[in-house]
Amino acid sequence: MNNIKVRFAPSPTGYMHVGNTRTAVFNYLLARKLGGRFLLRIDDTDVLRSRKEYEDSLRDVLRWLGFFWDEEARQSARLARYDEVVAKLKEQGRVYACYETAEELEIMRKRLMNKGLPPVYDRHALTLSREEIARYEAEGRRPHYRFKLEPVVIEWDDMVRGHCRYDAANLADPVIIREDGSYLYHLPSVIDDADFGITHIVRGEDHVTNTASQIQMFQALGAPLPVFAHLPLLTGKEGKLSKRLGSLGVRELRAEGIEAMAIVSFLAKLGTSEAIEPFYDLDTLAQTLDLSKLGRAQPKFDEEELKTFNTHYVRSLPYDKVAENLNVDREFFEAVRGNLNVLADISEWEKICKQNLSPVIEDEALTSLAADLLPPEPWNDETFGVWLNELKARTGKKGKELFHPIRKALTAAESGPELKKLMPLLGRAKVEARLRGQTA
């Protein structure tokens, strides 16, 4: 198992969104489960759209999620290697030049589709004479290059989709180099995966057809085939891919207080036959990974469901997981955790409990009597019940009529932690002063 290696290969042409974050999650967890290595590959061959700020951001997001890579590669630094491989494939007749324009190819595609035929390139370029090629080049046409597929059935066993089978006769020879000489995704990705010894490729199901073509590229290079896993693509809650889902970034979720492990836990189980539940560390979550439990249906991602799950996650966090990042003791955290939607909310309760506050007095007679009846410290678990029962007996009030005025006096808020847990945190002096309407 020591040779296991997976890769996450983002293009720095935009900020990381929920979809490619999910791909990173499954790759990283698979590497952790199998005891393998995790390669970060920056697919930056798109010079016009690749930007450093996007790359810096995706690195920041990966680190925040807890994903640390063992190796790193950059496609823009490997162009000479791609050229070397292409030269060999040209000699073998597996890469060939084509001179059709984009408009001509579109006409050809529509003609085939109108006849009910698959829009497969007819390899007309292979029949061109030297004279025809010279004429095209004299016109200023520059060739694009295709990888020539062998007319065989391509099969593999997918970790998610099961047995996959494609007839290469129904696939167009993929374009691997544009007219301007720049590389498309297909061949450089295969060269990298072969050179870096990638054993498992986990990516979206929109790459399934690419995989069929790329299997022949691996074979042409004489490289072993990786194991493939194609994840069903996320859809929005309305059942289709939406612009919001495509652009929703981890940066925005992080800014809203969503916890890293809440995101990872949620995405790792979304679309599986397992319940979505909180995990507090990546190793424990990784051991539960089972790609065979992913359904074939496209899972629906709902941002509000993630936020609700995050609230559940935060309220179930063990104190030991937050102690380093929150400057509060265990007693305080346990008292207020049930009222936290995001961890940052704890600062509001620190202000209520540890800073001066102007109380809101709604029933002065009630809160004044409550102050008079306050027992001396130290307070124990029974103190609150005894005090409350006496207050009920004196006033005849109960329920909201009793609790709400006291809560507003102590916190100036409509809701919050149980008063039984809150009052010891405030201390008798602060409780009495606020019940009497004094800033404390």
Q: How far is CA 231 from CA 162, 242, 338, 424, in A?
A: 12, 18, 35, 51
pLDDT of residue 72: 97
CATH assignment, 80-177: 3.90.800.10
pLDDT at 241 over 60: no
Q: Where are the beta strands (DSSP E) in 17-101?
A: 37-42, 71-74, 95-98
pLDDT of residue 382: 87
pLDDT range class, residue 237, cuts 50, 70, 90: confident
DSSP annotation of 173: P
pLDDT at 7 over 90: yes
Question: Which range, 17-26, 42-51, 214-223, is most confident?
Answer: 214-223
Tracing tokens 């937050």 back to the chain, one arrives at 322
Task: Provide the H-helix boundaries in 92-129.
Answer: 102-114
The answer to whether 276 and 266 are in contact (CB under 8 A) is yes
Cα–Cα distance measured from residue 18 to residue 267, given in angstroms and rounded to the nearest whole number: 9
Q: What is the pTM of this model?
A: 0.90
pLDDT, tens digit (0-9, with 9 covering 90-100), for 27-58? 999 999 999 999 999 999 888 899 999 999 99
pLDDT of residue 2: 64
Tracing tokens 């991602």 back to the chain, one arrives at 301
pLDDT of residue 240: 56
pLDDT, tens digit (0-9, with 9 covering 90-100), for 162-209? 999 999 999 999 999 999 999 999 999 999 999 999 999 999 999 999
How high is the mean pLDDT of the chain? 93
Neighbours of 31 (CB within 10 A): 25
pLDDT, tens digit (0-9, with 9 covering 90-100), for 376-396? 999 887 888 999 999 999 999
Dihedral, 178, 179, 182, 184 alpha carbons, nearest 10: 0
CATH number of 331-435, picked from 3.30.1490.100, 3.20.20.70, 2.60.120.1570, 1.10.10.350? 1.10.10.350
Cα–Cα distance measured from residue 123 to residue 113, given in angstroms and rounded to the nearest whole number: 17
pLDDT, tens digit (0-9, with 9 covering 90-100), for 124-137? 999 999 999 999 99
pLDDT of residue 238: 65
Main-chain dihedrals φ then ψ at residue 72, nearest 5 degrees: -145, 145
Cα–Cα distance measured from residue 66 to residue 260, given in angstroms and rounded to the nearest whole number: 8
* Residue from 196, 111, 100, 112 nearest 141 by CA: 100
pLDDT of residue 245: 58
End-to-end CA distance of the chain: 62
| Token pair belonging to 277 | 């539940």
Cα–Cα distance measured from residue 253 to residue 255, given in angstroms and rounded to the nearest whole number: 5
Please say whether the structural domain 236-322 has been given the CATH code 1.10.1160.10.
yes
- What is the mean pLDDT of the segment spanning 421-428? 90
- What is the mean pLDDT of the segment spanning 327-337? 91
Where does the chain hold its CATH 3.90.800.10 domain(s)?
80-177
CATH level 2 (architecture), domain 5-73+186-234: 3-Layer(aba) Sandwich (3.40)
User: Exposed, middle or buried, 338 (CB in 10 Å: 0-12/13-18/19+)?
Assistant: exposed
Handedness of CA 189, 190, 194, 197 (dihedral sign): positive
pLDDT of residue 244: 55
* Residue from 188, 213, 206 nearest 22 by CA: 206
* Residue from 437, 389, 368 nearest 409 by CA: 437
The answer to whether 77 and 32 are in contact (CB under 8 A) is no
The answer to whether 235 and 301 are in contact (CB under 8 A) is yes
Where does the chain hold its CATH 1.10.1160.10 domain(s)?
236-322
pLDDT, tens digit (0-9, with 9 covering 90-100), for 345-373? 999 899 999 899 999 999 999 999 999 99
Specify the pairing of strand 300-301 against strand 200-204: unpaired
DSSP annotation of 149: P
Within 8 A by CB and 6+ apart from 165, the residues are: 153, 154, 155
pLDDT at 220 over 80: yes
What is the maximum span of the chain, computed from C-alpha positions, in angstroms? Answer: 108
Q: Is residue 168 helix, strand or coil?
A: helix
pLDDT of residue 374: 96
pLDDT of residue 417: 87
Preceding omega of 10 cis (within 30 degrees of 0):
no
Handedness of CA 143, 144, 145, 151 (dihedral sign): negative
Where does the chain hold its CATH 1.10.10.350 domain(s)?
331-435
pLDDT range class, residue 246, cuts 50, 70, 90: low
* Type of residue at 274: E
Within 8 A by CB and 6+ apart from 143, the residues are: 97, 98, 99, 125, 179
Where does the chain hold its CATH 3.40.50.620 domain(s)?
5-73+186-234
Cα–Cα distance measured from residue 383 to residue 64, given in angstroms and rounded to the nearest whole number: 44
The answer to whether 20 and 58 are in contact (CB under 8 A) is no
The answer to whether 267 and 259 are in contact (CB under 8 A) is no
The answer to whether 346 and 336 are in contact (CB under 8 A) is yes
Specify the pairing of strand 200-204 against strand 175-177: unpaired
